[in-house]
Amino acid sequence: MVKIKICGLKRLEDIEIVNRYNPDYVGFVFANTKRYVSHELARQLKNNLNSNIMSVGVFVDAPKEEILELFNEGIIEIAQLHGTESEDYIIDLKENTNNELKIINAIEMSNDTDLLEYDSSNADYLLLDSGKGSGKTFDWRLIRKDLKKEFFLAGGLNNLNIRQAVDEFNPYAVDLSSSLEVNGFKNEDKIKEIMEIINE
């Protein structure tokens, strides 16, 4: 069964909604975007989150110390990296957490992307996306069927295309954000619908 991540939670109301539908992961964005949350707000959100839902911190070239602090305080369990973070950066995060911090390495997909070079990455998962929270799909034909790492599929997934994406590419997880919003806020009806499609 494909797992689901709902990204960009920033209100206690968002937490109340996801607690009712139990996705596998939620994302807190610590990068400078409209979905940014402070460490203190993320702590409040995490404290109210169902314990069976994993929390993912989303970063773009953040200081390693920031990620380690959030992990050590129990605010995040996974780091999702969207910048130019190196393999050494990933290894350092792993070594400083006794390999307990899981890493998702986000790949901006284009015709120039060679996914083979990530087969040996120290990241636990890849995330295939069209860009940093662009909300647009990329050319799914770029997804290699022989990927060695499990991957999250992101970018423009919605109630109309997610079933095809899951059936055709069998991702480890799907990652949604803007398609679950109305006027910039997470919407319970949209979350309920997508969870029903995934779980049918």
Q: Does domain 3-168 have CATH number 3.40.50.12780?
A: no
List, for the chain, all residue ranges whose pLDDT scores fall below the cut of 50.
none
Q: Is 189 a catalytic residue?
A: no
The residues pairing with 5 across neighbouring beta strands, listed in sequence order, are 25, 175
Q: Is 7 a catalytic residue?
A: yes
Residue of 61, 129, 146, 189 marked catalytic: 129
| pLDDT confidence of residue 134 | 55
Cβ burial 67-100 (10 Å sphere, 16+ → b, else e): bbebbeeebbbbbbbbeebeeebbebbbebbeee
Which residues, other chains included, contact 140 with Cβ-Cβ below 8 Å and sequence gap of 6+? Answer: 165, 168, 169
Domain residue ranges of the chain, discontinuous segments joined by + = 3-168
Q: Which two tokens stand for residue 40?
A: 């203190």
Q: What is d(CA 42, CA 46) in angstroms, rounded to the nearest whole number?
A: 6
Residue of 7, 14, 124, 175 marked catalytic: 7
Q: What is d(CA 161, CA 184) in angstroms, rounded to the nearest whole number?
A: 21
| pLDDT confidence of residue 133 | 55
- The count of C-alpha atoms lying within 13 angstroms of the C-alpha of 168, restricted to the half-sphere facing its C-beta, is 11
Q: What does the pLDDT look like over 139-175, one tens digit per residue?
A: 888 888 888 899 999 988 999 999 999 999 999 999 9
Of residues 179, 182, 161, 200, the one with CA closest to residue 5: 179
